[in-house]
Amino acid sequence: MGAEVWGECLRLGRCLLPLVDVERWRTESRWEAFRAKRIGVEWGEYVFGVFAGMVFHAALRDAVAKGAPCSVETLDAVSLRTVSDAVNDRPDWMFLAGVPTAFTDEAEEKAVLTIRLCIHSGAGPSLQLFALAQHLPRALHTITTRTSAPDPTCADLRRWADAGLSG
């Protein structure tokens, strides 16, 4: 899958926390949860954004497997419910499929390698990734409950991020 599509998946993943953080208590609660799992807040939020991008990418790959073209337009049509279901219904290792192997951004590459290591290394790191992953369905739920859209899509999420709000 192309670099443009991967970049848009990452952009969507990275916009989730700022949209959730409209209410300050949500930020503080997440930080507390990260610290309790011994996850550095800044790095944890960065890895969360990349992991969320990988989940958006997996949801796009599902649409492509059903015959849709691999494009930003196809990504835009994916419902946020589908993305949330993907993170709940799959083992973490499935999100590694189709992820680029070469990166132009060193931090992004380090985050993907961290995720890969967590998935394959077992107990401690795997539990930290699980803790990060659990914030994704919560974030999507929080964002989608703030809108009157019946079945919000990735295009809606992008529009909300561009507007700096979630509804």
Give the span between the Cα atoms of 129 and 124, in whole angstroms: 9
pLDDT of residue 63: 96
Domains of the chain, by residue range, sit at 3-163
Give the span between the Cα atoms of 103 and 166, in whole angstroms: 30
pLDDT of residue 166: 43
Quick one: DSSP state of residue 122? -
Q: What is the pLDDT of residues 36-52, one digit of tens each?
A: 988 889 999 999 999 99
pLDDT of residue 167: 45
pLDDT of residue 1: 58
Number of neighbouring beta carbons within 10 Å of residue 52? 27
Percent of the chain with pLDDT over 70: 94
Number of neighbouring beta carbons within 10 Å of residue 101? 6
Beta-carbon contacts of residue 148 (< 8 Å; ≥ 6 apart): 167
